[in-house]
């Protein structure tokens, strides 16, 4: 089973700052099957990025994804107040899905 490890666990930043979130896989992951989700308290997760770097429908261009192999990154170029949330990476390998443990982006 592929394990996804996200870092840092918590990121404390101010609105307008840049956020860089990391997702590292225990073995190589197909980029086309790597996704990122945003979850706010009391809400279901929302798809942000699929295929490691493609934005889902309606996602602002301040969100971007990159990476390949075992190292992937979600970048939020300028944090808006509504971006403070928990972010999860997720992959599908051998038709089995796994999530990272999440990174919380909190207001500093």
Partner 1 sequence: QVQLQESGPGLVKPSETLSLTCTVSGGSISSYYWSWIRQPPGKGLEWIGYIYYSGSTNYNPSLKSRVTISVDTSKNQFSLKLSSVTAADTAVYYCARDDLYCTNGVCYRAFDIWGQGTMVTVSS
Residues of this chain that interact with partner 1 (CB under 8 A) are 1, 32-33, 35, 37, 43-47, 50-51, 54, 56, 88, 90, 92, 95-102
> Least CB distance from residue 34 to partner 1, whole Å?
9
In this structure, are residues 102 and 5 in contact, taking their beta carbons and an 8 Å threshold? no
> Which CB atom, from 44 or from 61, has the smaller least distance to partner 1?
44
Q: How far apart are CA 68 and CA 73, in angstroms?
A: 9
> Least CB distance from residue 78 to partner 1, whole Å?
25
Q: Count the helices and strands in the chain (H runs, E runs).
A: 0, 10
End-to-end CA distance of the chain: 36
> Which CB atom, from 14 or from 95, has the smaller least distance to partner 1?
95
């Amino acid at each position: 089973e592929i394990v996804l490890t996200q870092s840092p666990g918590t990121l404390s930043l101010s609105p307008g700052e840049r956020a860089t979130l990391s997702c590292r896989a225990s073995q190589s992951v197909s980029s086309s099957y790597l996704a990122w989700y945003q979850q706010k308290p009391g809400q279901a997760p929302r798809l942000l990025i699929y295929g490691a770097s493609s934005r889902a429908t309606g996602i602002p261009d301040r969100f971007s994804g990159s990476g390949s192999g075992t190292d992937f990154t979600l970048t939020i170029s300028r944090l808006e107040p509504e971006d403070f949330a928990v972010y999860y990476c997720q992959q599908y390998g051998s038709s089995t899905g796994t999530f990272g443990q999440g990174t919380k982006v909190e207001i500093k």
